[in-house]
A and B are shown apart, each in its own frame.
Chain A
Amino acid sequence: MEFVTQSLVIGLTENAPLILAAIGFALLYRLTGLINVAYSETITLGAYFGMWINTTYGLDFYAVLIPTGLLAGVLSVATYLALFRPAKQRHVGGLEMIIISFGLSIFLRHGLQFVFGYPERFYDVPPPDTIMVLGVGVTSFRLLALVAVAALSLLLYLFIQRSGYGLRIRALASDEALAQVSGIRPLVVTVMIWFIAGVAGGLAGAFYGVGASVSPLLGWRQFLLILMVALVGGSWGLGGVILVGVGTSVALAAMALQLEQVLYAQLVLIVAFVIVLKIRGSRRAETAKV
């Protein structure tokens, strides 16, 4: 029982940023159809933005979150307007779009080192309080990350499923031409999607960064798991992403407690996700054959 409680608490609090990032990524993927590899750099830059605001202006971590989310959202929109929108207008294919986003990811990851410097950076924050949850000690930052993920997930879910803008976003995703003749302005709605995804990625980055250190590979190290959670869970909508994200987080913690190396847990998950995608992909291929 103690093992289950530990896995749940550690998994959910330590990997809450993973769920948040996966929600942002899945939103972008489901509604624009783009696998944006550069989303890993939205996460990384979120961590850098937070660290920069924190160390430059002396704001505490909680105050840093709002400008960090906004900056990451603006960056995300800027990449859409400067790169992905022109590429779409030039009818660049889906495969090439992924390679373009890969190029952007590499460019941002290395370009940011000329701005923020080469060494690892750290947030200037006092040691966080430790709070006991079900007998497991959790830092206040990690608990905040979990609360933020829960609140943002609920807000996003309500926004997409219940609001007028959410309806427009879903309409645009299912049929852009039809949505356009129905009076929906694709540019406004698409910009909104990129902004929301950017905010989610940036906040995830800030939570990752404050928990450890800020380095250029921060987002890239998480990207594969985020991608897999979004692809596997995304078939069942945002709820599916959250569920698969929660399951992945708890499984990671449980395996890390059992196995001698944390990296083995990632290895097992990579294999499991690829097998799930294989089974699902084969079924699709069989349907296509018919």
Chain B
Amino acid sequence: MTLDWLDAFLITGLFEVVMVIGLALLLHLQLGLARIANFGVVGFWGIGMYVFGVLYVQVDWPFGEPWQFLACAAAATVVAGLAGLLVGWLVADLDTDGVLVGTLGFATAVQILATTQDDLTGGARGMGGLGFPYDIGRVKDNEFLWLVLVTAVVGAILLYVWRVHRSPYGRLLIAVGSNEPLARSLGKPTFRTKLWLFAVASAAMGFLGAMYGVMVRFLDVGNLGVGVTLAAMVGLVLGGTARVWGAVVGVVLTVGLFDIVIQSYLPLPREWYTQAIPVLREAAFGLTLMVVLLFRPLGLLGDMRRDRLMGKIHGR
């Protein structure tokens, strides 16, 4: 199959969109259902990326691809999950302010460790040496296949989130988000539920980080800024925090607009792409968060279907 019709920018743009959709879906479970504001998405994603990178580059594995990738990605997922468990334990019984400090603090800690442990991570110089777990020809072909694989992973996350919405566990998350003391008084294990939520969501974020590391093949501490959390959050808020498809619609309209439409199709001066467009992108994301929460707090897709149904039944 020839991929000459496909622009290399389009592949990386689509990869970015799909990856952020995955992060936004996981954030949806935390923010949309359980009302936990995880401002440290980049920390869990970043720890997965760096654990994967360090193991892949620094360890002399006795076996080749794809087992090397699978072993490193599995370790990255487990470490991110354990980190989620720890952060979850720290913040699960704190109010929103405490959750903000805990999650933001964790993201900062990951950034500090990635910067200071330069023997392992390359520090501010960055770390190369990562590669695809296969070789099917040109770089573009490898990248396209990786895009297909990450799409499959995000598809699985979408299916999981969709099933959570319709499961007793999902209803428990909604109960925790709506009125935690009431849920606890009814005998529901709210603390354990939050821990499990943090562990699973963080592990999946870590796996997405590992997949991102393979795609870019060079780890840079600059990627551990607030941009990743912002992209996931703005997409989710614009689409609708309460709806499964909110994350998909919102990320396509925000990250898709900038990383695909503007990057690949708008005939803008070349020098704009180095500074003006990235700065404009982030400013526009910030503005979108404010405008949406002020004028349409439930996002484009609105409230949950079950809330609408209950509203109709009760004449609201």
A residues with a Cβ closer than 8 A to B are 35, 83, 86-87, 90, 92, 94-96, 98-100, 102-111, 113-114, 118, 220, 224, 227-228, 231, 261, 263-264, 266-267, 270-271, 273-275, 277-278, 281-282, 284-285, 288-289
Contact with A along B19-53 (1 / 0, CB 8 A): 00000000000000001010100000000000000
Is B286's CB under 8 angstroms from A106's CB? yes
Residue of B nearest to A93 (CB): B297
B residues with a Cβ closer than 8 A to A are 35, 37, 39, 90-91, 93-98, 100-102, 104-105, 108-109, 112-113, 115-116, 181, 184, 226, 230, 233-234, 237, 275, 279-280, 282-283, 285-290, 293-294, 297
A289 and B182 CA atoms in complex are apart in Å by 10
Chain A residues whose C-beta falls within 8 Å of the C-beta of B101 in the assembled complex: 224, 227-228, 231, 273-274, 277
CB distance from A121 to the nearest CB of B (A): 15
Most buried by A among B181, B233, B289: B289
Chain A residues whose C-beta falls within 8 Å of the C-beta of B93 in the assembled complex: 281-282, 284-285
A288 and B181 CA atoms in complex are apart in Å by 8
A106 and B97 CA atoms in complex are apart in Å by 19
A103 and B96 CA atoms in complex are apart in Å by 17
Q: A87-B293, A103-B288 are in contact. Are A95 and B37 (CB under 8 A)?
A: yes
Is B279's CB under 8 angstroms from A114's CB? yes
A113 and B293 CA atoms in complex are apart in Å by 25
A110 and B279 CA atoms in complex are apart in Å by 6
A278 and B102 CA atoms in complex are apart in Å by 9
Q: A35-B100, A106-B226, A106-B289 are in contact. Are A111 and B283 (CB under 8 A)?
A: yes
Other A-B pairs, 14, CB within 8 Å; known A87-B293, A95-B96 = A92-B293, A95-B37, A98-B100, A103-B234, A103-B287, A106-B226, A106-B286, A111-B286, A114-B283, A231-B101, A263-B112, A278-B102, A281-B98, A288-B181
A263 and B124 CA atoms in complex are apart in Å by 13
Residue of A nearest to B107 (CB): A224
A111 and B285 CA atoms in complex are apart in Å by 11
CB distance from B284 to the nearest CB of A (A): 8
A274 and B88 CA atoms in complex are apart in Å by 12
Residue of B nearest to A29 (CB): B97
Is A224's CB under 8 angstroms from B294's CB? no
Residue of B nearest to A217 (CB): B225
Chain A residues whose C-beta falls within 8 Å of the C-beta of B113 in the assembled complex: 267
The 10 closest A-B pairs by CB, nearest first: A103-B289, A106-B286, A107-B286, A110-B283, A281-B94, A285-B93, A103-B290, A110-B282, A270-B105, A103-B286
Is A277's CB under 8 angstroms from B116's CB? no
Option from A86, A263, A274, A278 in Cβ contact (under 8 Å) with B294: A86
Is B237's CB under 8 angstroms from A271's CB? no
CB distance from A160 to the nearest CB of B (A): 21
A155 and B254 CA atoms in complex are apart in Å by 46
CB distance from A39 to the nearest CB of B (A): 13
Chain A residues whose C-beta falls within 8 Å of the C-beta of B35 in the assembled complex: 95
Is A104's CB under 8 angstroms from B286's CB? yes
A103 and B287 CA atoms in complex are apart in Å by 6
Residue of A nearest to B291 (CB): A103
Residue of B nearest to A263 (CB): B112
Is B286's CB under 8 angstroms from A110's CB? yes
Is A98's CB under 8 angstroms from B289's CB? no
Chain A residues whose C-beta falls within 8 Å of the C-beta of B285 in the assembled complex: 103, 106
Is B290's CB under 8 angstroms from A83's CB? yes
Chain A residues whose C-beta falls within 8 Å of the C-beta of B290 in the assembled complex: 83, 100, 103-104, 107
**Would you give 26 A-B contacts (Cβ < 8 Å), ordered by A?**
A86-B294, A95-B35, A98-B37, A98-B96, A100-B293, A102-B286, A102-B289, A103-B285, A103-B288, A106-B285, A107-B286, A110-B279, A113-B279, A227-B100, A227-B101, A227-B104, A228-B101, A231-B101, A267-B113, A270-B108, A270-B109, A271-B105, A273-B101, A274-B101, A277-B98, A278-B91
Chain B residues whose C-beta falls within 8 Å of the C-beta of A220 in the assembled complex: 226
Q: A87-B293, A103-B290, A264-B116 are in contact. Are A281 and B95 (CB under 8 A)?
A: yes
Is A110's CB under 8 angstroms from B97's CB? no
CB distance from B88 to the nearest CB of A (A): 11
Chain A residues whose C-beta falls within 8 Å of the C-beta of B181 in the assembled complex: 288
Q: A95-B37, A220-B226, A278-B90 are in contact. Are A263 and B105 (CB under 8 A)?
A: no
CB distance from B262 to the nearest CB of A (A): 15
Chain A residues whose C-beta falls within 8 Å of the C-beta of B91 in the assembled complex: 278
A266 and B275 CA atoms in complex are apart in Å by 30
Residue of A nearest to B275 (CB): A118
Most buried by B among A86, A103, A113, A266: A103
Is B297's CB under 8 angstroms from A118's CB? no
CB distance from A113 to the nearest CB of B (A): 5
A218 and B288 CA atoms in complex are apart in Å by 23
Chain A residues whose C-beta falls within 8 Å of the C-beta of B275 in the assembled complex: 113, 118
A105 and B289 CA atoms in complex are apart in Å by 11
A288 and B182 CA atoms in complex are apart in Å by 11
A252 and B102 CA atoms in complex are apart in Å by 19
Is B297's CB under 8 angstroms from A273's CB? no
Is A90's CB under 8 angstroms from B294's CB? yes
Is B293's CB under 8 angstroms from A266's CB? no
Chain A residues whose C-beta falls within 8 Å of the C-beta of B288 in the assembled complex: 103
Chain B residues whose C-beta falls within 8 Å of the C-beta of A113 in the assembled complex: 275, 279
Chain A residues whose C-beta falls within 8 Å of the C-beta of B39 in the assembled complex: 102
Is A99's CB under 8 angstroms from B233's CB? yes
Is B283's CB under 8 angstroms from A107's CB? yes
